[in-house]
Amino acid sequence: QQETDRRAKLAELRELGVDPFGGRFDGARSAAGIASDMDGLPEDEVLRVAGRVLAIRGHGKTLFLDVYDVSGKLQVYVRRDQVDDLTFRIVKLLDLGDIVGVEGVPFRTKSGEPTLAVRKLTILAKSLRPMPAKWHGLKDPELRSRRRYLDLIANRDVLELFKTRTRIIRLIRGYLDERGYAEVETPMMQPIAGGAAAKPFVTHHNALDMDLYLRIAPELYLKRLLVGGMEKVYEINRNFRNEGISVQHNPEFTMLEVYHAYGDYEVMM
């Protein structure tokens, strides 16, 4: 029923001449950036933010929206006499999960909440599927793994974990690059299952008419680069091992492997 209602709103938006999947919205600032800079912003400065609507409060001629982007949340305030007819009709057709672009002026509510008073609102993508329940969220471990995009929406701590992982990878690259290591890419499909003691995934190369193995480790090819004259190499990439699966062990995983000519285990440690 919820999806039927959303599709009816989709049709109504199109009848209003609104593209419900407009997509592009230039000049948006981060929600967290606007919130943190709120006290230093001119009261009449028009700001732009884009994100997903995850809460709608109020009724009648006054509404509050919680708009989330990757940086966090910004409250958005919509008042009937401050927007044009089309913008208010779009707002009344919003559902949780819709992605919007907002233009407005900053202010703080009586409770001190950083807020953007809407002057114009654009729908960028209409959500046709209902969001996970607000309080119960997405709890089933298997469903969270299979539909990671929903997990990211429903559980902000998971999104923060993804961002932390990105920063860790960037720091590792920076550390090795500064010390003269060259990042390389070695074959994902290999003629032998070498480099580690693990069961491989097998595929077939039609043009060469031969079986190949998804690599279980990049070791052999990295060592060939040392033989060829490179002295410091590393690779951060995917490996594949056709073995057990659990919350601590995945058949497809990212590995860092580093080699340094003329060094020993103490150098590598």
Domain end among 94, 125, 156? 125
Q: Give the separation between CA 248 and CA 164, rounded to whole angstroms.
A: 18
The predicted-structure confidence for 157-192, as pLDDT tens digits, reads as follows 899 999 999 999 999 999 999 999 999 999 999 999
pLDDT at 153: 87
pLDDT at 240: 95
Q: Letter for the amino acid at 3? A: E
Same domain, 193 and 105: no
Name residues of the chain where pLDDT drops below 50.
135
Half-sphere exposure in the Cβ direction for 179 (13 Å, CA)? 15
Q: What's the structural domain count of the chain?
A: 2
| Sole residue written with tokens 């509050």 | 64
| Sole residue written with tokens 């997990």 | 151
The two tokens of residue 129 are 């599927």
Percentage of the chain surpassing pLDDT 70?
98
Domain end among 125, 155, 190? 125
Dihedral of CA atoms 126, 129, 132, 138 in degrees, nearest 10, equals: -110
CA Rg value for the chain? 26
CATH of the domain at 189: 3.30.930.10
The predicted-structure confidence for 59-91, as pLDDT tens digits, reads as follows 889 999 999 999 999 999 999 999 999 999 999
Position 207 in a domain = yes
Q: Give the separation between CA 150 and CA 43, rounded to whole angstroms.
A: 36
Domain end among 125, 143, 169? 125
